[in-house]
Amino acid sequence: MQEAHKPTFTEGEFYQVHFNSRVYIDSFYSNPDGHPDENDVPFSLWSLSKTFSSGKHSGQRLIDIGTGPSIHSLISASEHYEDILVSDYTDSNRQEIKKWLNDEEGCFDWLPVIQYVCNLGGERTPSQVAQQLRQRVKQVLKCDVRLENPFHPVTVEPADCIVTSLCLEAACKDLETYCCSLRNIASLLRPGGLLVMVGVLGETYYVVGGQRFSCLDLSQATVEGILKELGFSVTEFNVQFAPNRENDTVSDYSAVFHLMAVKSFKKVCIC
């Protein structure tokens, strides 16, 4: 019997040609509930709000890895870091971010999502949050997590905090690439700095505008194990299971996760 052909993993080069940035944010972030088949956005927004509203985590520089066309991962953090760098591999995603940062006509309306975060706590209004975030994003860079320096040829100062949301599992074709990409990201974080990740478990694909994109199937044990090998102390790992997996038309994820991890002061080399 002939072996079934395994689809090619859709890495960054595929995104550059086929990823529709506006359809993505229209589909998944038009309201704070997210896509009706998944409803995972509130978990992400709540987890990120809880991370940063405590006041325990703040500093000068924050780097967001694989921002995509979305600012949702920066809303809560923006009050606590003066200098924010956002990044993505895909040109159209960076262009979409720049349109919002410049408040250009036709840019995506993030106010409903920002309002949701404001309702979770704090005294800032949505307009104040938007204004502050626009002021604090100092750079929008091309990023390839597969490179030893993801921002090559640009060199950046180490960050106090790195946030990455729904990026690595979509960018990495196998566990070796995932491990090395995490190592590459870790090199951008100062010793003692905070890594905040939002991702999915048990997912092999997701769909944007009818186009299917690959995803690396991960487990909690795998993610935690790799981080520990890289010298991180995982301080929190929260999981929300998919409420409607059998009827989900846009992905096959089993759970969404949020974690916090602190980088060791010891030098660690793997991969």
64 is in an annotated binding site: no
The answer to whether residue 1 sits within a structural domain is: no
Contacts of 269 (CB under 8 A, 6+ apart): none
Question: End-to-end CA distance of the chain, in Å?
Answer: 36
The answer to whether residue 271 sits within a structural domain is: no
The residue ranking higher by pLDDT, 226 or 36, is: 226
Q: Measured between alpha carbons, how far is 263 from 271 in angstroms, rounded to an integer?
A: 17
Domains of the chain: total: 1
pTM for the structure as a whole: 0.94
- State the sign of the Cα–Cα–Cα–Cα dihedral 29, 165, 144, 251: negative
Determine whether 228 is exposed, middle or buried from the number of CB atoms within 10 Å of its CB (0-12, 13-18, 19+): middle
CB environment 71-98: b (16+ within 10 A), e (fewer):
bbbbbbbbbbbebbbbbbbbebbbebbe
pLDDT at 230: 95
- The domain of 53 spans 13-263
Mean pLDDT of all residues in 7-31: 95
The answer to whether residue 240 sits within a structural domain is: yes
The answer to whether residue 210 sits within a structural domain is: yes
The answer to whether residue 4 sits within a structural domain is: no
Domain containing 198 — which CATH number?
3.40.50.150
Task: Give, as one character, the DSSP assignment of residue 13.
Answer: H
pLDDT tens string 44-63: 999 999 999 888 888 999 99
The answer to whether residue 8 sits within a structural domain is: no
Determine whether 60 is exposed, middle or buried from the number of CB atoms within 10 Å of its CB (0-12, 13-18, 19+): exposed
Determine whether 221 is exposed, middle or buried from the number of CB atoms within 10 Å of its CB (0-12, 13-18, 19+): exposed
The answer to whether residue 7 sits within a structural domain is: no
pLDDT tens string 178-209: 999 999 999 999 999 999 999 999 999 999 99
144 is in an annotated binding site: yes
The answer to whether residue 5 sits within a structural domain is: no
